[in-house]
Chain A
Amino acid sequence: MSTSNIELPAWIEVILIPLLNICIALFFAGLIIFAIGENPIEAVRVMLNGAFGYDEGVGYTLYYTTNFIFTGLAVAIAFHARLFNIGGEGQAYIAGLGIGLSFLLLDNVLPPVLLIPVGILSAALFGALWALIPAWLQAYRGSHIVITTIMFNFIASSLMVYLLVNVMIKPGSMSPETREFSEASWLPFMHEIFGWFGVTITRTPLNISFLLALVCCLLVWIYIWKTRWGYALRTAGQSEAAAVYAGIKPKKIIIITMCISGALAGFVAVNEIMGVHHRLILNFTAGYGFTGIAVALMGRNHPLGIIFASLLFGVLYQGGAELAFEMPRITREMVVAIQGLIILFSGALALMLRPAIVKIWLAIRPIPSVAQHG
């Protein structure tokens, strides 16, 4: 019997099944830790302590969370238009190029108050641009956006290596990075902001882009569910034919959605380059773009879900670093493996449990009132 068209109550679809999927993923992660001879329960304790146990840990956790919110939102908004943007990594990387170029040219020219807005805008612009090309190819030439965005990740990587090694490198420097940008372009760290109010917290990379990430969540939520553009986007994602019939142009939706997606992914560069490194460096994206896919799947493409999923990945990243320190047999890459398990169970196998749950639900649900049927 096919169970896919039997309706389940919302709390089972939206909360229970996703939670069970995450539990299965974490169970397998525990199994791996057990297999390499460590205690999974103890590992969880070390991780949670590393992530929340002291204010430095919290700072790092939220700093990672910031990146995941940006890339998670990027993947999610594209998903709503049924576009799979695997290119967040490359878009973030090229956004870094945008920041680098505008600051190298302008940071001693522009008035200091303008630097930060210019930096954020150029990140959004360059991220959007790197998504625009695959979007255009999808909309007008029919190229599969998954393949083109994968290719664009590699092209971005080669381009950045070339530019940093040969063109943008600080003169006389051996390591492939630009000079430091002027201090007016740095985003304030959270420990500095707290300092203004007389509260002392430990120095961490956490900066004001965390608030930008939360604002983006709100804006994305409004855009998708409260504007006519979002309505058009969701309609095009559900059924292209229906969208055309309603006077919506699917090609335009693809272009606009991917540009927003690329701009959101590009904000990773705001956090990393303007917030932390203050110069353009190689590989600052460090896989955050790919993690965004796991985050979006886990957060079911909803900004609120994405905040929670990002927090979980923030805990995994920061706690994972602590774990590698405390338990030498476990390495940081354990987090990558967990990420793979979450993409598998929350994404590819998201419907695995559903038939069984439908059977249980049919057996135990409250009997619908008989009177209705006469």
Chain B
Amino acid sequence: MDSLLNAQTVLSTLDATLRVSTPLILCAMAGLFSERSGIIDISLEGKMLSAAFAAGTLAAITGSAWIALAGAIVTSILLSLLHGFACITNRGDQVVSGLAINVLASGLTIVLGIAWFSQGGQTPALASDARFMPFELPLIESIAQIPFAGPFMQSVISGHNLLVYVALFAVPITWWVVYKTRFGLQLRAVGENPLAVDTAGISVSRLRYKAVMTAGILCGIAGTYLAIAQNAAFAREMTAGQGYIALAAMIFGKWRPVPALLACLMFGFLDAVSIRLQGVALPGIGEVPVQIIQALPYVLTVVLLAGFIGKAVAPKAIGVPFVKER
């Protein structure tokens, strides 16, 4: 028990929390943009997986992390456009379209990976200059002596790669865009009452396309993070359901940026703790099965959706294709 609660352990668990939360945060913000515009997006998983594959492939071929990032974002945006083409232009079922993208990504990344690299679905391992590597924040040494805040800054906040900070910045930016800009106002309106937006002379389709493409950009960054920042190669099925956890976190945050961030951090923390608690007996409780902690995000989301802890109200027009009256 001592070893579980000393400062070093706490700090390193928080550090790990931030690392595992990063793709969740990016995908949750992605889902927020899409769903606030009225388009259900269960394809966060598939977009992130495809982006991770694109990033791993391009980093291995070009040796440039930046080209990999750009390629991953483009790949993810293309899938967003496909989702948009199906749901916005052809008024297809949004859940079916999202599922199609997830299944397609799951199959295609393995098929192409094996055909191109013959490493059982992995992309080649990357050298550090083809990745986004951790770095220390400037001036961090000078504040390290401050009690509590110093070690916290040094061990938890500093020492991550660029994309972790991008994810953290994505939250205030999302908040600002959604609540403080003209686009954000239109976005929220189109998710609640597309007819009103249409009556105001604004194109519902164009707005929704913009929203799903924004989601594409964010999922692209999340995939890049998995393949070439957190890890040194793409591995098959490496998203492992994180896109769905991010979706759950976004719902848990009731389609709002800051609560969604907190939900991501909570789910990330559960993940970090579950790794640390493996095989450790807690006093009075005994060994907590890892599976229970792993299932907790899903259980909590169901409980929330059931209205037992507050009420999660989705945007009103979500899932309903918009038919312009003629």
By a beta-carbon cutoff of 8 Å, the part of chain A in contact with chain B is 2, 4, 32, 36-37, 84, 86, 137, 141-144, 146-148, 150-152, 154-155, 158-159, 161-162, 165-166, 290, 293-294, 297, 329-331, 333-341, 343-344, 347-352
User: Is residue B275 contacting chain A, with contact meaning CB distance below 8 A?
Assistant: no
In the complex, what residues of B have CB within 8 A of residue A137's CB? 302, 305-306
Q: Which of B197-205, B211-219, B293-301 contacts A (4 or more CB under 8 A)?
A: B293-301
Check A144–B314 contact: CB distance below 8 A.
yes
Check B251–A344 contact: CB distance below 8 A.
no
Check A349–B86 contact: CB distance below 8 A.
yes
Shortest CB distance A269–B (Å):
20
Q: Which of B101-109, B139-147, B224-232 contacts A (4 or more CB under 8 A)?
A: B101-109
Check B291–A338 contact: CB distance below 8 A.
no
Fill in one digit per residue for B289-326: 1 if any A CB lies within 8 Å of its CB, else 0.
Answer: 10110110011011001110000001000000001001
* Interface majority SS (helix, strand, loop, mixed), chain B: helix
In the complex, what residues of A have CB within 8 A of residue B121's CB? 331, 333
Bound Cα distance from A278 to B256, whole angstroms: 48
Bound Cα distance from A146 to B247, whole angstroms: 12
Select A348's contact among B92, B114, B247, B298, beta carbons within 8 Å.
B92
By a beta-carbon cutoff of 8 Å, the part of chain B in contact with chain A is 40, 42, 82, 85-87, 90-93, 95-97, 99-108, 110-112, 114-116, 121, 241, 244, 247-248, 251, 289, 291-292, 294-295, 298-299, 301-302, 305-307, 314, 323, 326
Q: Show 25 residue pairs from A and B whose CB-CB distance is below 8 angstroms, ordered by the A residue.
A: A86-B95, A86-B99, A137-B305, A143-B307, A144-B305, A150-B244, A151-B298, A158-B294, A158-B298, A162-B291, A331-B111, A331-B115, A333-B110, A337-B103, A337-B108, A338-B107, A340-B100, A340-B104, A343-B96, A343-B100, A348-B92, A348-B93, A348-B96, A348-B100, A351-B90
Most chain A CB inside 10 Å of its own CB: which residue of B40, B100, B299: B100
Shortest CB distance A188–B (Å):
34
Known: A340-B106, A343-B100. 20 other contacts (CB 8 A): A4-B323, A86-B95, A137-B302, A146-B42, A146-B95, A158-B294, A158-B295, A166-B289, A294-B103, A333-B107, A333-B110, A333-B111, A336-B110, A337-B103, A340-B101, A340-B105, A344-B101, A347-B92, A348-B87, A348-B92
Bound Cα distance from A220 to B105, whole angstroms: 33
Most chain A CB inside 10 Å of its own CB: which residue of B103, B106, B110, B292: B103
* Interface majority SS (helix, strand, loop, mixed), chain A: helix
> Nearest residue in B to A163 (C-beta to C-beta)?
B291
> Nearest residue in A to B114 (C-beta to C-beta)?
A331
- Given that A84-B95, A339-B103 are known contacts, is A158 also in contact with B302, CB under 8 Å in the complex? no
Select A155's contact among B95, B111, B298, beta carbons within 8 Å.
B298
Bound Cα distance from A161 to B247, whole angstroms: 23
- Given that A162-B289, A329-B115 are known contacts, is A352 also in contact with B90, CB under 8 Å in the complex? yes
Bound Cα distance from A24 to B131, whole angstroms: 38
Bound Cα distance from A358 to B82, whole angstroms: 23
In the complex, what residues of B have CB within 8 A of residue A339's CB? 103, 107
Shortest CB distance B295–A (Å):
4
In the complex, what residues of B have CB within 8 A of residue A142's CB? 307
In the complex, what residues of A have CB within 8 A of residue B241's CB? 154
Check B251–A347 contact: CB distance below 8 A.
no
- Given that A331-B111, A340-B104, A347-B93 are known contacts, is A141 also in contact with B295, CB under 8 Å in the complex? no
- Given that A155-B299, A343-B99, A347-B97 are known contacts, is A336 also in contact with B86, CB under 8 Å in the complex? no
Most chain B CB inside 10 Å of its own CB: which residue of A84, A158, A334: A158
> Nearest residue in A to B289 (C-beta to C-beta)?
A162
Bound Cα distance from A218 to B242, whole angstroms: 39
Shortest CB distance B49–A (Å):
12
Shortest CB distance B21–A (Å):
18
Shortest CB distance A338–B (Å):
7
In the complex, what residues of A have CB within 8 A of residue B82's CB? 344
Bound Cα distance from A329 to B115, whole angstroms: 5
Check B301–A151 contact: CB distance below 8 A.
yes
Bound Cα distance from A344 to B98, whole angstroms: 9
Check B100–A143 contact: CB distance below 8 A.
no
In the complex, what residues of B have CB within 8 A of residue A150's CB? 42, 244, 247
Bound Cα distance from A146 to B314, whole angstroms: 13
- Given that A151-B302, A152-B302 are known contacts, is A340 also in contact with B90, CB under 8 Å in the complex? no
In the complex, what residues of A have CB within 8 A of residue B106's CB? 333, 336, 340
Check A154–B92 contact: CB distance below 8 A.
no
Shortest CB distance B110–A (Å):
4
Check A340–B108 contact: CB distance below 8 A.
yes
In the complex, what residues of A have CB within 8 A of residue B110's CB? 331, 333, 336
> Nearest residue in A to B116 (C-beta to C-beta)?
A36
Check A143–B115 contact: CB distance below 8 A.
no
In the complex, what residues of A have CB within 8 A of residue B295's CB? 154-155, 158-159
Bound Cα distance from A150 to B93, whole angstroms: 17
Bound Cα distance from A144 to B105, whole angstroms: 25
Check A336–B96 contact: CB distance below 8 A.
no
Shortest CB distance A237–B (Å):
14
- Given that A36-B111, A137-B302 are known contacts, is A336 also in contact with B292, CB under 8 Å in the complex? no
Bound Cα distance from A344 to B87, whole angstroms: 11
Bound Cα distance from A62 to B124, whole angstroms: 39
Select B86's contact among A36, A154, A166, A344, beta carbons within 8 Å.
A344
Most chain A CB inside 10 Å of its own CB: which residue of B244, B292, B305: B305
Bound Cα distance from A336 to B104, whole angstroms: 7
Check A293–B90 contact: CB distance below 8 A.
no
In the complex, what residues of B have CB within 8 A of residue A84's CB? 93, 95
Shortest CB distance B287–A (Å):
9
In the complex, what residues of B have CB within 8 A of residue A143's CB? 302, 305-307
In the complex, what residues of A have CB within 8 A of residue B291's CB? 158-159, 161-162, 165
In the complex, what residues of A have CB within 8 A of residue B294's CB? 158
- Given that A344-B86, A348-B87 are known contacts, is A162 also in contact with B292, CB under 8 Å in the complex? yes
Check A335–B107 contact: CB distance below 8 A.
yes
Check A147–B251 contact: CB distance below 8 A.
yes
Bound Cα distance from A4 to B85, whole angstroms: 17
In the complex, what residues of A have CB within 8 A of residue B42's CB? 146, 150
In the complex, what residues of A have CB within 8 A of residue B91's CB? 351
Most chain A CB inside 10 Å of its own CB: which residue of B40, B107, B307: B107
Check B292–A158 contact: CB distance below 8 A.
yes
